[in-house]
Amino acid sequence: MTSDTVTLTVAHPDDLPLFKRELQEAFAVAVINEYGELPDGPIPYDGDLNSSINAPGAVALRILLDGKNVGGAVVTIDQQTHHNTLDLFFLNVGKHGQGLGYKAWLAIEARYPETVRWRTHTPYFEKRNIHFYVNKCGFKIISFFNAKHPDPHRPGPSDLPDDEGFLFEKVM
């Protein structure tokens, strides 16, 4: 019998290839459901994914259910301002709809109790994510990015066919 305990651990460097593959598989499901296929390669692109994982202050976390891998997250922690970001968040394919995402988010909040503000983003078409961040986790939408209001933190082209998305913020 399982206890349904969700915990976090820092991803080991040897685990990062599997971490990245699982993240890309999880993101692919939503993109294929919306667009019918993946645009030229995995989402996010390997270069973007590597940049996120290796950014200053970034921490790749494994989400564990009773000690077994069920997903992951990449957070960026600013030790001076405590204005932190949830850069990437995923549950492995087949693990949605079980309350694991919410438990994982609570574990992330508990891991970084000094956080003053969390920010994250999601594509416009990801209604499930919008519901999760706003209705479950208590984030507020603070910006809508589109062709007339591009994301200033994304200087290059998006890896999605359209470049619309939301920026969320949660003040602790």
Domain that residue 118 falls in = 6-171
Q: What is the pLDDT of residue 62?
A: 98
| pLDDT score, position 145 | 78
Please say if the pLDDT value at position 146 is more than 90.
no
The mean pLDDT of 17-39, rounded to a whole number, is 82
Whether 1 is covered by a domain: the verdict is: no
Structural domain contains residue 42:
yes
The structural domain count of the chain equals 1
**Banded pLDDT at 162 (limits 50, 70, 90):** low
* CATH for 160: 3.40.630.30
Q: What is the mean pLDDT of residues 2-15?
A: 90
- Which of 71, 55, 50, 57 is CA-nearest to residue 8? 71
Task: Determine the pLDDT at residue 41.
Answer: 73
The answer to whether residue 78 is domain-embedded is: yes
Model confidence at 1: pLDDT above 50: no
More confident residue, 46 or 104: 104
Q: Note whether residue 26 is domain-resident.
A: yes
Model pTM score: 0.87
d(CA 125, CA 162): 10
Q: Which residues make Cβ contacts (< 8 Å) with residue 7, sequence separation at least 6?
A: 64, 67, 107
Confidence of residue 4 (pLDDT cuts 50, 70, 90): confident
Residue 17's pLDDT is 95
Of 92-101, 106-115, 163-172, give the lowest mean pLDDT range: 92-101
Q: Decide if 123 is inside a domain.
A: yes
Decide if 101 is inside a domain. Answer: yes
